[in-house]
């Protein structure tokens, strides 16, 4: 299901990425990193002595071979639709990051709460990567898992 926010935006993905960086700088972030692969983009930064990374799922161009009614698209049309979907996702990421930073800035929330899932742990994964399986296990078993199992050897 495609997102609805900015679904018709004309703002290029590169412009949104630059806007995100400007917003992050405004709120005190530094040490930026960017990468893209087929189907994913990464934006990383340092803020409040924490490394933070967002993985932005991007559609694959192959997903746009057909129209919603099942007709074959031209190569040009396929590219146009794929590019539009990428632009939409970058605009949505800008909105999310800006909203989180503003919530912290005006005292609605604190940095760690807003960015917890995206804070990078020493091994390179995020808190979200670490916690998702533990949350699933807790719901399946009804028991709360140890936060740091390797420390429970006493």
Reported as a single tens digit per residue, the pLDDT across 121-145 is 999 999 999 999 988 888 888 877 6
Alpha-carbon distance of 51 to 4, in angstroms, equals: 30
pLDDT tens sequence across 58-77: 999 999 999 989 999 999 99
Residue 3 has what pLDDT? 61
Strand, coil or helix: 39: coil
Closest CA to 131 of 141, 111, 116, 150: 116
Residue 152 has what pLDDT? 53
Average pLDDT in the chain:
91
* Paired tokens of 122: 């020493």
Provide the residue count of the chain: 154
Q: Where are the alpha helices (DSSP H) in the chain?
A: 13-26, 75-105, 111-115, 127-141
Strand, coil or helix: 154: coil
**Confidence grade of residue 149 (pLDDT, cut at 50, 70, 90):** low
Q: Which value, to the nearest 10 degrees, does the dihedral of the CA atoms of residues 97, 101, 106, 107 take? A: 110
Residue 113 has what pLDDT? 96
Residue 39 has φ and ψ, to the nearest 5°, of 100, 5
* Paired tokens of 7: 């679904």
């Amino acid at each position: 299901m495609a997102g609805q926010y900015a679904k018709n935006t004309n703002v290029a993905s590169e412009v949104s990425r630059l806007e995100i960086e400007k917003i992050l700088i405004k709120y005190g972030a530094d040490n930026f990193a960017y990468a893209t692969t087929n189907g994913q983009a990464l934006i990383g930064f340092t803020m409040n002595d924490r490394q933070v990374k967002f993985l932005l799922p991007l559609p694959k161009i192959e997903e746009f071979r057909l129209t919603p009614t099942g007709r074959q698209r031209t190569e040009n049309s396929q590219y146009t639709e794929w590019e539009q979907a990428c632009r939409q996702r970058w605009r949505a990421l800008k909105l999310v990051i800006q909203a989180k930073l503003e919530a912290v800035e005006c005292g609605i929330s604190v940095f760690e709460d807003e960015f917890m899932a995206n804070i990078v742990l020493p091994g390179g994964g995020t808190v979200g990567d670490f916690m998702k399986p533990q949350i699933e296990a807790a719901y399946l078993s009804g028991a709360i898992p140890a936060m740091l199992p390797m420390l429970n050897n006493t």
